[in-house]
Structure 1
Amino acid sequence: MTERSRIRVGVNGYGVIGKRVADAVAAQDDMVLSGVADITADWRLKMAARKDYALYASTEDRAAPMREAGFDLNGTLDDLLGAVDVIVDCTPKKVAAKNVEIYRQKDLRFILQGGEKHEVTGHSFVAEANYESAIDRKCTRVVSCNTTSTVRTLTALKRAGLLRRARGTLLRRATDPWESHLGGIMNTLVPEPEIPSHQGPDAQSVDPELDVVTMAVKVPETLAHLHYWSVQLTREASKAELLDAFRASSRIALIEIGDGLSAINAVKEMMADLGRPHDNLYEVALWADMLMVQGDELFYAYIVDNQAIVIPETIDAIRALTGREHDAARSIAATNRALGIGMVADSLGRG
């Protein structure tokens, strides 16, 4: 594929999600990273410069300070927007909603992250659940990490004809690891003040048919989130049948405590050993040997890497919005191939 025929993608905001989106775009055969925009002038943007990513200032007033800090800018966000087919906004919560006005004025396709409200785009995205409904749209919102995992796992059960309703408890990490010195919690647990927590209604923005209720509590750790789920099935089913339902999703990795993967830190260490950039766990890591079924009730637990799980969804959303790929399965397969999704099962001998 020639560079001219590739999808031109820009990333606005080079933080925890933005840098991972940029790397993932650069890894795709059918996309080209046109550049990244930010307002920082510290080590984070220096890492982008080391990768020879084209750099832009997200706002006019930050261009001079960034140049004074030694960055060779290609211009401002306005210049980047003139050179892309899709802009992926990875700026902090509520900033993106303001940027939407700019994107709409320029008649650009754009993708927001889960920190923004569903109403801003009118569409929320998880590739395995509703890829087709995003084809040729002007915009979509890739839902949050916890919502993505919820939709992935419940969609797997739904497609197998097994899902009646689901109730989940989420143990949410306190903050991103790189910011743990700035805040977070210590020696306490902080419950979300409302039931359901926002993830359940958010999942229904992707699939309104889901009967799901979530509860959440913030815990004093930063590696990943942990989910516990209780699901009423449409009928009695065996453990083997349920594992096959989850296995049908390429973005659910079945792991086992028996392999020594008994805690979040061990799973993240495995990602490092697999050579994943930033130790990324793109999949939902679901404990197969912990899963239990009693009649028509299912109980299971899994890990969510909030820095990584939405990255493949964002890549698929790019293809859907541009209409370059109308088949969800082909897009998902291409993204998986580029990001090495499937390595977990292969490395454990369960490919």
Structure 2
Amino acid sequence: MTRPLPLNAHLIDVGPLVYGCMALGGDWGGGPITEADIAHAHAAVEAALDIGIKLFDHADIYRRGKAEAVFGELLKRDAGLRAKVRLQSKCGIRFADDANPGRYDLSAGYIEESVTGILQRLAVERIDILLLHRPDALMEPGEIARAFGRLKAAGKVGHLGVSNMHAGQMRWLQMALPEPLVANQLELSLAKLDAIEVGTTFNDPQATTRPGCVAWAGTLEYAQRHGVQLQAWGSLAQGRFNDPAASPAAKVVHEIAEAHCTTANAVLLAWLLRHPAGIQPVIGSGNAERIRACGDATRIQLNRDEWYRLYVAARGQALP
């Protein structure tokens, strides 16, 4: 099925779905990865490849580095795997330690140090995309641009993107960059509607004063205007629509899934794919069977009525 693509899509050459690797690598504690962790990761990655996924999304903090490390082990064991995948990782979140609280750090030194660790864990010389994981209150666009320039010149990073940044932050950062930001990953699903709500309910005082809504004003439009690939983390809504009896919205999800002879998860992803911004859902499940079932999302296309039925049911009240 033909879907709209952002202007910069040719820079990353990936399909409509992304696999998020946060579920790989065992627990969040210390210690090395195990053979069981490797087997689990192998099954998940093979399932993702089976449904046509090319882009595999990491972050240096996932399982405290073990998600990248287990993927690196897969790359070592299968010489042909690297050619089949595009690798994306994120940096900028620092965990709390004995001296400091949890914080965000997009200083040049920390970005470059993080990329060194990412490459070592993934056992590669280059990642295709580096995302800045969270907006650092102290970030300086010029400093970030210089760090990216050095990483690019050294062949360590192909493209730069962001995560969890609104339109104003992307615009501000882009002013210092010689190349376009290629992606912005934010939470977006039928359970997290803020980025869409702010556009459709901007003239409704009750809606636009909700926490988290106004901040996203113009973000989807900016991405479409400037060719930034939107990626939706949390796209399966943490399973809250799995049970049709759980809510009126879940009932609608299952009714539409039945009409299309597909699964509820496929409908959740198809809802995102239907948006003209060309949103890429990030599938974060570690279950191989569930991953394969998500592939059906690219087979179906919701019509306008179905899209709005889901939207209005999920927001819980009529549009203004």
Question: What's the TM-score once normalised by structure 1's chain length?
Answer: 0.34
**Higher helix fraction (1 or 2):** 2
Question: What's the TM-score once normalised by structure 2's chain length?
Answer: 0.37
